[in-house]
């Protein structure tokens, strides 16, 4: 029973990583840049949910919708102000800018919310289910997180494959210049990508803080790095890759903690990453999937 | 042109964001600084602690209590006829920021340091004060790493070995548990220090430790695996030697799992009830260690608690009580040394190192406190339990 509990906890943690990793992987696929501010958008999203729910007493669903709207707007504004002027600059310049934006968001949050941690009330009221006569207890948080992750993946893959904007995304990710020649509005497509990634960050923030209920301005940075790792692990630029990378990372992390050493868990996760990248430098799904989005 | 204007605006925004952190600090310094008008000669006592961040309740308690004690001392005529000025700097319980705060205080002309509040920061700052020969009395940094090899550092609180051993004794003597699980922060000297002495004493007392799990500063939000392992090992008591922020998460996650062992924290759990938006019902029945109970009915405690409540609001915790005692301990030692503020910080330091070992002090946090040359105080921690959303003495 212990093993099953760990597995479900790992899937739940991995699902959060996967949703965050989507933000990294989509932006990388289309704009060819690493948006290191993504983790901090998650933190802002979580604060918006907290303010709506705990301070203003709004229902959880309304709070999450408000948070998605705020984060989507934030993501588009960041893209417009910080990244768009650098579209022709070197990758390194964009990377440094992203790190700058990340610190800017953290310091903004420090100024507005202060650095005292707040205890986040779970957006999921459901207590979960007990199986096998109570020996296996699955929390509502875990179930909802896993389901949300799967639904988001399915919708996103459908969107990219079957809609006009989705096709535009695939075209831009394959060849930006050719896409312009074909009459695709590249700027609008990149904006849309940021909007979707940041909207997902809001959901990730709410789910992350529901399971691990402490919120500070630095909450987003460590999960952000882990999710970035997951994106690379699964093959950066690939949507199913983000799902597989995220889930594997979560499961490895929890199982390493459970069966090897709770102190060495992070080291083991990154050791596995190094081995995978040695064998398959593009990540697990890095090559098979041609449609990078 | 448009681009230039935009990048200028962005630069300005970046620069502004750099000052965000400093803004808080300056505000704090003026908040904690007492009257120092007309260039009159005063004792310059500095304080360092987290008044923002994950351990903010400790720093705020310490800052307020020192201010309270300094005001009392000044009203009663000061120390050896000279008033005390007090300046408190924020360190967010961070080593680097703590050393920066120390340098700020040195520039201000500090002669004696009453800080730091946390052990990690204390480690860094004690090395500096030792090199500078600055007398350092820490109200609450309990790790022996703060005092080890530093003859100028003394503690008002009991030390980590003391806490670990007393906890194990208490659990064994009161039959609280037979199977003990431990979760500790392996990246924090305070937490690992308490854990090590607890484990040694628990073994000596015949307690069975069925699970020992660790976490680090990078992974201090997910405790489900550690809790599950303790649950599978059938631990009926969890020993949790870390701070209240992580404590609130552990209690929430244990509750979600439906795991209800006896929770036993040490002095780091003081402040648990003050975490914003935390469901205090989850803390019901949690044990923690403290030398001070705000509900005690001796006159000194009553007067301190009522003054603190009326001036700052909220009930003072043990850190505040330790800090309040600290000011009077300094006063006693300075009077015994018969010094004036004209003395340099080096002279004060050397004099206080020998004088404090002759001082016997009755305070809020213990009767007949004395200090040995290692900087340790001779008082024992007491266990309290959280009952109906408040701390209550158990014995």
Q: Are B150 and B126 in contact (CB under 8 A)?
A: yes
Residue B18 belongs to a domain: no
**This prediction's pTM:** 0.79
Q: Nearest Cβ partner of B14 from A2, A100, A139? A: A100
Same domain, B146 and B167: no
Q: Is the pLDDT of residue A115 over 90?
A: no
Give me the number of domains chain B comprises: 2
Same domain, B280 and B305: no
Same domain, B200 and B148: no
Give the list of residues 6+ apart from residue B223 with CB closer than 8 angstroms, or none.
B183, B215, B246, B249, B250, B253, B254
Residue B73 belongs to a domain: yes
Q: Which domain holds residue B357?
A: 42-158+300-379
Token couple for B64: 């307020």
Segment B174-204, tens digit of pLDDT: 888 889 999 999 988 889 989 999 999 999 9
Kindly determine whether residue B54 and residue A212, on different chains, have CB atoms separated by under 8 Å. Answer: no
Segment B320-373, tens digit of pLDDT: 999 999 999 999 999 999 989 999 999 999 999 999 999 999 888 888 889 998
Residue B12 belongs to a domain: no
Going from the C-alpha of B76 to that of each of B70, B72, B79, B83, B135, the distances in angstroms are 10, 6, 9, 9, 24
Segment A239-259, tens digit of pLDDT: 999 999 999 999 999 999 989
Same domain, B124 and B170: no
Same domain, B57 and B153: yes
Same domain, B284 and B305: no
Same domain, B225 and B130: no
Q: How far apart are CA A137 and CA A157, in angstroms?
A: 32
Same domain, B176 and B256: yes
* Neighboring chain A residues of B214 at a CB cutoff of 8 Å: 261-263
- Give me the sign of the Cα torsion angle B325, B330, B336, B340: negative
CATH number at residue B202: 3.40.50.2300
Residue B28 belongs to a domain: no
Q: What is the DSSP letter of B267?
A: G
Asked if A139 has any chain B CB less than 8 Å from its own CB, the reply is yes
pLDDT of residue B298: 84
Same domain, B169 and B154: no
Sheet of B179-185, strand order? B208-215, B179-185, B237-240, B262-265, B287-290, B382-387, B390-393
- Give me the sign of the Cα torsion angle B280, B285, B286, B287: positive
Query: Which of residues A39 and A292 earns the better pLDDT score?
Result: A39
Asked if B180 has any chain A CB less than 8 Å from its own CB, the reply is no
Residue B27 belongs to a domain: no
Residue B295 belongs to a domain: no
Residue B393 belongs to a domain: no
Q: How far apart are CA B205 and CA B9, in angstroms?
A: 66
What DSSP letter does each residue of A149-209 carry, written as one string?
HHHHHHHHHHHHHHSHHHHHHHHHHH-HHHHHHTT--HHHHHHHHHHHHHHHHHHHHHHHH
Tell me which chain B residue has its CA closest to the CA of residue A124.
B256
Query: Which of residues B234 and B37 earns the better pLDDT score?
Result: B234
Q: Are A172 and A184 in contact (CB under 8 A)?
A: yes
Segment B59-77, tens digit of pLDDT: 999 999 999 999 999 999 9
Same domain, B243 and B316: no
Chosen domain end from B270, B290, B310 = B290
* Neighboring chain B residues of A81 at a CB cutoff of 8 Å: 6, 10
Asked if B224 has any chain A CB less than 8 Å from its own CB, the reply is yes
Kindly determine whether residue A222 and residue B219, on different chains, have CB atoms separated by under 8 Å. Answer: yes
Block residue for tokens 């007309």: B38
Q: Are B202 and B177 in contact (CB under 8 A)?
A: no
Chain A interface test: which of B221, B227, B246, B247 (most A C-beta within 10 Å): B221
Residue B15 belongs to a domain: no
Token couple for B255: 């509750």
Residue A185's CB is within 10 A of a number of other CB atoms, namely 14
């Amino acid at each position: 029973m212990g093993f099953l509990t760990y597995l479900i906890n790992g899937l739940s943690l991995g699902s959060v990583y996967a949703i965050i990793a989507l933000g990294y992987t989509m932006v990388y696929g289309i704009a060819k840049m690493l948006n290191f501010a993504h983790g901090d958008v998650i933190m802002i999203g979580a604060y918006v949910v907290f303010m709506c729910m705990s301070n203003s007493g709004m229902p959880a669903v309304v709070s999450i919708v408000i948070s998605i709207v705020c984060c989507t707007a934030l993501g588009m504004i960041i893209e417009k102000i910080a990244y768009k002027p650098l579209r022709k600059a070197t990758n390194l310049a964009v990377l440094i800018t992203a790190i700058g934006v990340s610190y800017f968001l953290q310091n903004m949050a420090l100024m507005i919310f202060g650095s005292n941690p707040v205890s986040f009330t779970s957006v999921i009221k459901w207590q979960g289910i007990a199986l096998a006569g109570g020996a296996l207890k699955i929390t509502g948080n875990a179930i909802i997180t896993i389901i949300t992750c799967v639904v988001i993946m399915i919708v996103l893959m459908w969107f990219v494959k079957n809609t006009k904007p989705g096709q535009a995304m695939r075209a831009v990710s394959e060849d930006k210049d050719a896409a312009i020649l074909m009459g695709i509005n590249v700027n609008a497509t990149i904006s849309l990508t940021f909007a979707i990634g940041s909207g997902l960050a809001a959901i990730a923030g709410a789910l992350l803080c529901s399971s691990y209920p402490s919120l500070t301005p630095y909450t987003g940075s460590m999960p952000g790095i882990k999710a970035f790792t997951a994106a690379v692990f699964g093959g950066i630029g690939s949507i199913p890759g983000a799902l597989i990378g995220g889930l594997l990372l979560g499961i490895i992390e929890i199982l390493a903690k459970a069966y090897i050493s709770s102190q060495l868990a992070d080291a083991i996760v990154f050791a596995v990453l190094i081995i995978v990248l040695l064998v398959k430098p593009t990540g697990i799904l890095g090559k098979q999937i041609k449609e990078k989005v | 042109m448009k681009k230039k204007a935009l990048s200028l605006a962005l630069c300005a925004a970046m620069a502004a964001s750099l000052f965000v952190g400093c803004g808080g600090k300056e505000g704090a310094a003026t908040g904690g600084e007492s009257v120092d008008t007309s260039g009159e000669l005063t004792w310059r006592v500095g304080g360092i602690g987290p008044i923002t961040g994950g351990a903010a309740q400790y720093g705020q308690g310490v800052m307020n209590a020192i201010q309270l004690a300094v005001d009392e001392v000044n009203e009663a005529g000061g120390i050896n006829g000279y008033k005390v000025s007090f300046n408190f700097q924020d360190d967010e319980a961070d080593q680097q920021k703590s050393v920066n705060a120390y340098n700020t205080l040195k520039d201000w002309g500090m002669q004696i340091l009453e800080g730091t509040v946390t052990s990690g920061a204390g480690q860094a700052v004690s090395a500096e004060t030792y090199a500078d020969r600055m007398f350092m009395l820490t109200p609450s940094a309990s790790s022996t790493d703060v005092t080890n090899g530093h003859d100028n550092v003394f503690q008002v609180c009991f030390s980590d070995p003391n806490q670990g051993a007393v906890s194990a004794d208490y659990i064994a003597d009161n039959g609280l548990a037979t199977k003990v699980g431990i979760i500790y922060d392996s990246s924090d000297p305070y937490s690992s220090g308490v854990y090590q002495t607890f484990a040694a004493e628990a073994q000596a007392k015949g307690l069975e430790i069925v699970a020992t799990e660790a976490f680090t500063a990078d992974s201090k939000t997910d405790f489900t695996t550690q809790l599950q392992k303790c649950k599978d090992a059938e631990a009926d008591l969890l020993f949790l030697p870390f701070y209240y922020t992580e404590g609130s998460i552990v209690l929430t996650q244990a509750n979600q799992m439906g795991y209800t062992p006896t929770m036993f924290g040490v002095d780091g759990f003081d402040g648990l009830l003050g975490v914003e938006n935390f469901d205090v019902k989850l803390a019901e029945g949690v044990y923690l260690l403290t030398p001070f109970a705000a509900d005690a009915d001796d006159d000194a405690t009553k007067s301190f608690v009522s003054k603190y409540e009326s001036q700052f609001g909220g009930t003072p915790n043990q850190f505040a009580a330790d800090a309040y005692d600290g000011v009077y301990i300094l006063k006693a030692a300075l009077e015994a040394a018969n010094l004036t503020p004209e003395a340099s910080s080096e002279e004060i330091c050397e004099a206080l190192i020998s004088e404090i070992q002759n001082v016997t002090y009755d305070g809020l946090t213990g009767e007949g406190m004395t200090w040995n040359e290692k900087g340790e105080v001779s008082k024992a921690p007491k266990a309290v339990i959280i009952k109906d959303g408040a701390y209550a003495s158990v014995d």
